[in-house]
Structure 1
Amino acid sequence: MRLKGKHALITGGDQGIGRGIALRFAQEGADVAIGFLSNDDHAKSAVEEMRSHGVNAAALQIDVSNIGALAKFYADATRALGPLDVLVNNAGIEKRDEFLKSTEDDFDSVIAVNLKGPYFLSQLFARDLAEAKRPGKIINISSVHEELPFPNFASYCAAKGGLKMLCRNLAIELAPYGITVNNIAPGAIKTPINDKLLHDPSKLKPLLEHIPLKRMGTTDDVAGCAAFLASSDADYITGTTLVVDGGLLFNYHEQ
């Protein structure tokens, strides 16, 4: 129960990696508010599952690219749980977008969700903590593509690369307030977005050949790292990226 008594806010917490983190936090004793975009059923079931561990849980609808809505979202989370201790910026999107055919709208939507939203939600969180003189933890769910090129996904890579430098910069700026900032960079993870890949041997086999551990990761693999970074065990860690990829990043090469 490393997180007992902690209050955490997790964006994109109704499915995939975000849901895995929310459930792990609840198992570790944290009260959790999740942000979700549109799937009420997923959000409700996630809340029920978290509450089954004896913690307080809430689901709040939010589009993190809508910067004007973030203040109310944050205030609603604090009303539901109390003062927040941990922020997990997990919500993200990717779009296949060949660079020579890319549009401004496509670029803006990817940057807004993956970088601009986390920037301003982190600002709300950090201002709240600094004013109250309380320590806290920001955890960004980045990607191996903050380092690894991903042809036809230039805007996604730009956003994740920006999140890497945002993490480093905020770690320095927020250290005097006792706020740590770290990224988690997952590789290939078994989530609903990868269902087609998981059932297509012609695509899955070459991917696994790039992964030294010869398997895709699970949401539990990422959630365990998030729980560690949110706990007191990681109080002296800030400004870094924890890569969770089975060795993919340093073994990948184009065929």
Structure 2
Amino acid sequence: MQNDQNKNTKAIVTGGAQGIGFATAKQLVAEGCKSIALIGRDKDKGAKAVAELEKDGASALFISADVSDGKAALNAVEQATKKFGVINALCNAAATSARGTLLETTPELFDQIYHTNVLGPIMLMQGVVKGLIDAKQPGSIVNVLSMSGHGGQPFLTAYSSSKAALAATTKNVAHAYRFNKIRCNAVLPGWMDTPNEDVVQKKWHNAPDDWLAKAEAAAPMGQLVKPHQMAHLIAYMLSPNSGVMTGALVDYDQMIIGPNS
């Protein structure tokens, strides 16, 4: 039987050409979504992602934009709406995990992280929510946060802070628009196996080529978080099947906050 829980979904997915974003887009399309806009910076990756989604039966659009630019984020919502009509699902997956301890965090680094991880998602939510309210339609938002939002490692001071800020924003938006039937939830993944994580590990931590194998061998469940697995949860949270679920911050990891602290 065909899975069609997202058959009426018209979605925007940021960071949609790779990693969590693309896995989420693929899952939405597998569940019946026929209209999907991907936002990212790499046009070549975007073109390949669109081609794959269209092969799967969706009408897909790649919007080249840097979400750290608030005006560009709002403009991306306008472009997607012009193409597909009112957008009723948003997944904010794009982020930067640039490193920096408290003592290393410059004003420039702070701005870079907060503009990407907080300002961009807020402006995208603003654009989508405004469209839904004007059209008097329900909708759903999922923000991809991080387990680092609970505190994080010392070398992720500004990043952890930005994810905590977006967690509070998630609950604020959920509370503000529940009577408009606009839901807002978040998922907090732990250490992930993504192409970008390979870049991060080698750039910031001088990791060897076999860092992933070593990390997974030491992990309680023998793997890091896989985007295609988590995408099922995000797609569910975006779909009407998740009912009245709103304001939820769902940890998605094998490390448990609290007992080991």
TM-score (norm 2): 0.90
Q: How does 1:19-58 map to 2 (within 5 A)?
A: 19-30=22-33, 31-37=35-41, 39-58=42-61
For residue 222 of structure 1, what is the aligned residue in structure 2? 230
1:46 counterpart SS class: helix
For residue 247 of structure 2, what is the aligned residue in structure 1? 239
Asked whether the 8 Å contact 1:57–1:81 carries over to 2, the reply is no
In 2: Cα distance, 1:202 partner to 1:42 partner: 25
**Aligned AA for 1:218?**
K
Question: Superposition RMSD on alpha carbons, in Å?
Answer: 2.0
Asked whether the 8 Å contact 1:221–1:244 carries over to 2, the reply is no
Asked whether the 8 Å contact 2:37–2:62 carries over to 1, the reply is yes
Q: Which moved more, 1:192-201 or 1:141-150?
A: 192-201
Give the drift of 1:214: 2.4
**Aligned AA for 1:33?**
A
> Does 2:200 correspond to 1:193?
no
- Which runs of 5 or more residues in structure 2 are unaligned? 202-206
For residue 91 of structure 2, what is the aligned residue in structure 1? 88
Q: How does 1:57-96 map to 2 (within 5 A)?
A: 57-96=60-99
Which of 205, 208, 211 is the aligned partner of 2:214? 205
Give the drift of 1:95: 1.1
Asked whether the 8 Å contact 2:145–2:166 carries over to 1, the reply is yes
Asked whether the 8 Å contact 2:215–2:224 carries over to 1, the reply is no
Which of 251, 256, 259 is the aligned partner of 1:249? 256
Give the drift of 1:169: 1.2
Give the drift of 1:251: 7.8
Asked whether the 8 Å contact 1:148–1:249 carries over to 2, the reply is no
**Alignment length, in residue pairs?**
251
Question: Percent identity at matched positions?
Answer: 27
For residue 99 of structure 1, what is the aligned residue in structure 2? 102
Q: How does 1:55-204 map to 2 (within 5 A)?
A: 55-195=58-198, 197=201, 200-201=209-210
Give the drift of 1:20: 0.6
Asked whether the 8 Å contact 2:74–2:123 carries over to 1, the reply is no
Q: Which moved more, 1:187-196 or 1:44-53?
A: 187-196
Give the drift of 1:199: 5.5
In 2: Cα distance, 1:208 partner to 1:139 partner: 31
Change (3 A) 1:199 1:215: farther
